[in-house]
Homo-oligomer: A and B are copies of this chain.
Amino acid sequence: MILSATAHVELICIGNELLIGKTLNTNAHWLAKRITSLGLSVRRIIVVGDNVDEIASAVRESIQRSPAFIITTGGLGPTFDDKTLEGVAKAIGRDLEENKEALEMIKRKYEQYVAEGRIKKFEMTEYRIKMARLPKGAKPLPNPVGTAPGVLIECEDVNLVMLPGVPQEMMVIFDESIAPLLRKIAGNKVFYEASLDIRGISESELAPLIDRVMNENPYVYIKSHPKISEKTHHIELHLSTTSDNQDVARQRIERAIMQISELISERGGKIQPTQI
């Protein structure tokens, strides 16, 4: 099983907007894709609302499953419902305290806003200070796009990373501050994938063929994704592997594609490669 062979990551996405179906969770999708392509695996994604106890229990439960990294999104801003730092502090039993480095980052950002004419004047209100009140021992991560810094905490062999919910802010902090750390623990691992577009054969006819090919290719994971189609069966077949060597990974996938394509053709199915 590929997913458990490598160091793993859990994502905790925080925000009522995700639970009421207002916002599609593109943050989890982007992070999962990025983390997988860096050679690590995402083992679980949890979505909770803007509630300190919910956040704290999700973080506590996640720590018990010993991922290398826990990455949260959302809830770092200045409003009352931004509760991530409070929830995380509660989960790990640390107090919140004003972090000088974070305060300095926030101050510089508002001074920049004044210089740009976005706001008229700048005062360090309690709402702005709130974004700098981090769990003890936390390190703020620069946010080049918005005001709330990201946060990194090392805790019981788990790296806890808190990213903002605004996608552009989340992405840039991840790429600049977190991706390099993940690359280090992933080593040379690469994730390699390919998809085939299959028509004219049902998923239950395909099932024994997948079993056979996976049996002969133990490092390749093959999954069928049926598509709804009016007249014929239509399935996307996704093949993936993780390896230390890009060439090995590619060869594994190519071999499995050859074998499964032959079996599908023998049974009258039609195959086309697709772009991922």
Shortest CB-to-CB span from A198 to chain B, Å, is: 13
Contact present for A20 and B36 (CB under 8 Å): yes
| Residue of A48, A113, A131 contacting most chain B CB atoms (<10 Å) | A48
Say whether A223 contacts B21, CB under 8 Å. no
CB distance from A205 to the nearest CB of B (A): 7
The answer to whether A45 and B19 have CB atoms under 8 Å apart is: yes
Which B residues lie within 8 Å of A145 (CB)? 228
On whether the beta carbons of A191 and B28 are closer than 8 Å, the reply is no
In residues 6-35 of chain A, which contact B (Cβ within 8 Å)? 16-26, 28-35
Q: Does A233 contact B28, Cβ atoms closer than 8 Å?
A: no
Copies of chain A in the complex: 2
Chain B contacts of A45 at CB under 8 A?
Answer: 18-19, 45-47
> How far is B147's CA from A257's CA once the two chains are assembled, in angstroms?
26
Q: How many chain A residues touch the partner (CB < 8 A)?
A: 81
Binary contact track A103-122/B, C-beta < 8 Å → 1, others 0? 00000000001001011000
Chain B's closest residue to A57 (CB) is B65
List, in ascending order, chain B residues with CB within 8 A of A48's CB: 43-44
A207 partner, pick from B127, B214, B223, beta carbons under 8 A: B127
Classify the interface of chain A: helix, strand, loop or mixed. mixed
The residue from B22, B168, B223 contacting A81, defined by CB atoms under 8 A apart: B223
Q: A43 CA to B227 CA in the complex, in Å?
A: 30
Q: Which of A72-80, A89-97, A149-157 contacts B (4 or more CB under 8 A)?
A: A72-80
User: 18 interchain pairs (CB within 8 A)?
Assistant: A16-B221, A19-B36, A19-B44, A20-B33, A20-B191, A21-B30, A21-B33, A21-B36, A25-B25, A46-B47, A61-B61, A77-B224, A77-B226, A79-B223, A79-B224, A116-B231, A118-B202, A127-B204
List A residues at the B interface (Cβ < 8 Å). 1, 3-4, 16-26, 28-36, 41-51, 54, 58, 61, 77-81, 113, 116, 118-119, 125, 127-128, 131, 145-147, 166, 168-169, 191, 193, 202-208, 210-211, 214, 221, 223-228, 231-233, 238, 240, 276
